[in-house]
Amino acid sequence: MKRILISLATLSVLIGCGPEWRTVKGPVIETKSGGVLKAPTGWKYMIKDKQVLITPDSPDLAVLCYQTLDAEKPLARVKQKIQTDMLAEDLAAVITDNYRFTSEYSQFKVVETSPATINENDAFLILSEYKSTDGNPMKMLTMGYSKGNKAYIFEFTAPKRVYFDKMKPEMERIISLFVLQLAE
Amino acid sequence: MAPKTILLFSCLISLFPMAGLTQTMENDEAEIWKMSQIEQRKLDESGYIYQDDTLEAYLNTVLLKVTGTVPLPVVPHVKVLKSPELNAFAFPTGRMYIHTGLLAKLENESQLATLFGHEITHSTHKHAIQGFRHQKSTSDAVAFLGVISGGFGLIGAVANLLGNIGYMASVSGYSKSNETEADEVGFQKMKAAGYNPAEAPALFRILKNDITMEEPDKQAPYFFSSHPKLEDRLKNYQRLLNFSEVRPDSGYVDSVFIKKTRAVLFDNISIDVQAGRFNSAKHSISIYEKRFPGDDRILFRKADLLLKDQPQNSESQEKAMNLFKRIIELDSTLAAPHKELGKWYFKKGESTLAITHFEAYLRLAPQATDRRFIEGYIRKINTKTE
């Protein structure tokens, strides 16, 4: 989905319509879920449907994707569903299964899963590696939590070499500052 | 030539790429070969190859028994893809891929031979190049050699990896006349190799029944998961069978096939569960239990299925936990059941039992990737009780 969104963004530049990359000037608010992300001023962001993409300069080098998933709806690649108020670890297992069936994540491998906290909620953290469709080694940090009938998921993706480690602290900081305000 | 000799020859050939062989081809055919080799490499390096050398050697022995001698540069060779959907396909080069999902559904070697006979005919009879030339004449050639077809949202991860050649072989299929030819030639090949022709339509009957197990709107896009295409195969093979001498049914059980495919049947249950194909997993569990009564390893698959299929159903969850307890009684060195029981007691607020199982899990799986999660549960319980 993230790749489709990036491709859409590129296409929109060419044809002059659709979602655009905007410059961060304050909190980025995704009104449908009420998610508020505090990214550094001057970074770029794009909102499309229920997803927010945030990047320091280029999504090819480092991108954070925030999205909400609805309970009782199958995920993109598997027919498993998110449950209401799922244990963070169980949510991580479903998300991982979804990655395993995502062909864009070739040779997908979980390096570590661990508990975390986001917005005072019990959350999960998955550190994984895969090869992109171009064959580049990538790393991904996925964090998320389930509250009520929604799951809030954050995915930070970057090339394994240099960019992932360089950008990880800042991306973790953005996730740690995430809050929910009243949704639309 | 004996199957083992042919197998060795085909391995040697695959070590030395098609240098020289493609020089005798016309330009468009050589281009299709190159594209096929690129797509094969992509699949081979995708992490979706199911690693089981014994199974692969067995499948290749059957394949070579069916194909016999084929004209170079086609080199029959089959690999298995970790994918729960029902499919198999061959590239023009003779490289074939069969999904674990399809392999797990077959009942005997004759059905496997039917599938191989059909697929290899697409390679030996150059159906890909015929398809391309037909599209060329109908101005679709640019699209054919252009961007990949992709874009299968739900499931079908393998389909998203395919390029145009793989897409035609795996998803859209070839023209009706090419498919009929593959049925007819494939049928003759499997018969000539000594297999039971009555099993040919039986294969497609099984597949047809199987695809109705999952919800129709969530079917994979593959050729062998398509109801109308299976219906065509079934009619064709039934017609071919009517003109053949049929061996009387002797209640023959294909013990070699059943032994060789045991692991893939078992592993595909887990793949089905991960993909959320719960009905298919249930069906495979019952087949496994019939074929291998007394193999307690299936208990874990059953418990895992109960956990994921009906997570909100307390009765199912209770059943799953009883199975985990039974597994621990049978083998106290297994870590995973302890984790599930620990989580179960944790959710129920039974702290002592939760900690006992979490600690057992950590002791039995010290390198577990989720170690910190389990330590987190223990910490949380301890904080509450302090």
Q: What residues of A are in contact with residue B222 (Cβ under 8 Å)?
A: none
The string of pLDDT tens digits covering residues A35-91 is 999 999 999 999 987 789 999 988 889 999 999 999 877 777 777 888 888 889 999
Closest to B369 (Cβ–Cβ): which among A79, A112, A115? A112
Q: What is the mean pLDDT of residues B110-128?
A: 92
State yes or no: pLDDT of B383 exceeds 90: no
pLDDT digits (tens, 9 = 90+) for B288-335: 999 999 898 999 999 999 998 888 888 999 999 999 999 999 999 999
Pairing of strands A150-159, A51-55: unpaired
Percent of chain A with pLDDT over 70: 88
Provide the total of helices (H) and of strands (E) in chain A, helices listed first.
3, 11
Cβ neighbours of A83 in B, within 8 Å: 311-312
Quick: pLDDT tens for A141-169.
999 999 989 999 999 999 998 899 999 99
Nearest CA in chain A to B151: A4
**Interface of chain B toward chain A, CB-CB under 8 angstroms:** 45-48, 153-155, 157-161, 214, 218, 274-278, 308, 311-312, 343, 347, 369-370, 372-373, 376
Residues of B in contact with A113 (CB under 8 A): 369-370, 372-373
Residues B244-285 pLDDT 10s: 766 655 555 688 999 999 999 999 999 999 988 899 999 999
Over residues B174-197, mean pLDDT: 90
Confidence band (pLDDT; 50, 70, 90) for A5? very low
Tell which of A7, A8, A80, A126 to mutate to test the B interface (max B CBs under 10 Å). Answer: A80
> H or E stretch including A126?
strand A121-131
Taking CA–CA distances from B49, the nearest residue in chain A reads A107
**H/E run at residue B150:** none
Whether residue A81 and residue B276 make contact (CB cut-off 8 A), yes or no, is: yes
Give the tokens for residue B380: 């949380």
Q: How confident is the model at residue B128 (pLDDT cuts 50, 70, 90)?
A: confident
pLDDT at B109 over 50: yes
Whole-number pLDDT of residue B146? 37
The per-residue b/e assignment along B200-221, b for 16 or more CB within 10 angstroms, e otherwise, is bbbbbebbbebbeebeeeebbb
Q: What pTM was estimated for this model as a whole? A: 0.81
Model confidence pLDDT, tens digit, residues A6-41: 444 444 443 344 578 999 999 998 888 889 999 999
Residue contacts between A and B (CB atoms, under 8 Å): 81
Residues of A in contact with B317 (CB under 8 A): none
B182 burial type by CB count under 10 A (0-12 exposed, 13-18 middle, 19+ buried): buried
Residue A128's φ and ψ, nearest 5 degrees, are -135, 165
- Selecting from A76, A87, A104 the residue whose C-beta is nearest the C-beta of B153 gives A76
